[in-house]
A = this chain, B = another copy of it.
Amino acid sequence: MTTAQALTGVIPPVCTPLTPRYEVDTGSLTRLVDHLLDGGVDALFLLGSSSEAAFLPDRHRRVVLETVVGHVAGRVPVLAGVIDMTTLRVLDHVRAAVDAGVDGIVATAPFYARTHPAEIRAHFRAIAEAAGRPLYAYDLPVSVHSKLATDLVLDLAAEGVLAGVKDSSGDEGGLRSVILGRRDREDISGFSVLTGSELTVDSALWMGANGVVPGLGNVDPHGYVRLLRSAWAGEWDAARAEQERLLHLFALITVGGTRMGISSSALGAFKAALFLRGVIDHPTTAPPQIPLDDDEIGRVGKYLAAAGLV
């Protein structure tokens, strides 16, 4: 199942623009895809956490898949998240994604139900078998409340179940264990290690990661692409300077403060930034997220200005 060559580069988790009535805004979505491709991203990841996948009904998910796969038309690989609680439900999303023609699948450990590591392994095996294309594990303990152990990831890589991992755990020691473990196991050189930690991309690449899946990459894909290109060229000082600029920009996720959840504030700020940059038509987020008010959106604009994005 493993691809001959590891997936690499900037692979943003594509935001899902919505109309004020919470339908997928396909016009804005295609403009967002164009914005990302113009930025030079290497692949697209649909229906991840930053895409509000947890907030989107199945019909919205299908519209997203069909709109983007059709619009991209093979120019870059398109991955799709299949976020749901357990195996049979996830398999339904896999079928929808495969039918839409995606190039890879991204799945978390089970959640809601409390699971055992042996059950997590069985879960990924069942998904890989059904998918028939590369499967990436999405390590996101803040949402699913279990962490994927290094051995579990490497064993499933060696079995051919996993083609890569998107590590959003924030555990950089664990990330490095996977990277070195891959090197130590000769047969999994095509396994792709991607970081979801958008504030430490230069150091993840330095350790040997293959790429990044940055939510903030929706707002500034050009910045993340410059970061990667600099690192790959061995221009680490330039990579670091770019990362530091992006870290300052990332503070826009705090504009919502304590009157809302971090999800509302972060996803709301990403969408507000895309709205202010003219990429999407509405900063709408899905319920029950609390929308940013005008003052908060205004402060997003100040972060954009400070980062040279307006």
B290 near A119 with CB under 8 A, answer yes
User: How many copies make up the complex?
Assistant: 4
Q: Which of B85, B200, B260 contacts A203 (CB 8 A)?
A: B200
Chain A 257-299, CB within 8 Å of chain B: the 1/0 string? 0011111100000000000000000000011111000000000
A144 near B112 with CB under 8 A, answer yes
Chain A 214-236, CB within 8 Å of chain B: the 1/0 string? 00000000000000000000001
Interfacial chain B residues near A207, Cβ < 8 Å: 200, 203, 240
Q: Which residue of chain B has the shortest Cβ distance to A86 in the bound complex?
A: B55
Q: Which of A30-38, A173-181, A185-193 contacts B (4 or more CB under 8 A)?
A: A173-181
Q: A310 contacts the other chain (Cβ, under 8 Å)?
A: no
Q: In whole angstroms, what is the CA distance A60 to B85 when docked?
A: 15
Whole-angstrom distance between the Cβ of A239 and the nearest chain B Cβ:
10
Q: Considering the complex, which residues of chain A in the window 192-214 have a beta carbon less than 8 Å from any beta carbon of chain B? A: 197-200, 202-204, 206-207
A116 near B290 with CB under 8 A, answer yes
Q: A238 contacts the other chain (Cβ, under 8 Å)?
A: no
Q: Considering the complex, which residues of chain A in the window 1-49 have a beta carbon less than 8 Å from any beta carbon of chain B? A: 22, 49
Interfacial chain B residues near A87, Cβ < 8 Å: 55, 286-288
Q: A88 contacts the other chain (Cβ, under 8 Å)?
A: yes
B261 near A88 with CB under 8 A, answer no
- Known contacts A111-B112, A203-B207: A60-B83 contact under CB 8 Å: no
Interfacial chain B residues near A198, Cβ < 8 Å: 173
Interfacial chain B residues near A114, Cβ < 8 Å: 142-143, 261-263
Interface residues of A (CB under 8 A from B): 22, 49, 54-58, 60, 83, 85-89, 91-92, 110-116, 118-120, 122-123, 126, 142-145, 170-173, 176-177, 180, 197-200, 202-204, 206-207, 236, 240, 244, 247-248, 259-264, 286-290
Which 8 A-B pairs have CB atoms at the shortest separation, nearest pair first? Answer: A203-B203, A173-B199, A116-B261, A123-B288, A122-B288, A119-B288, A87-B287, A54-B85
- Show 26 A/B contacts (Cβ-Cβ < 8 Å), sorted by A: A54-B85, A55-B85, A56-B88, A57-B88, A57-B92, A58-B89, A88-B286, A110-B288, A111-B111, A111-B112, A112-B144, A113-B263, A114-B261, A118-B290, A119-B264, A122-B290, A123-B287, A123-B288, A145-B145, A170-B170, A170-B173, A172-B199, A176-B199, A177-B199, A180-B244, A206-B206
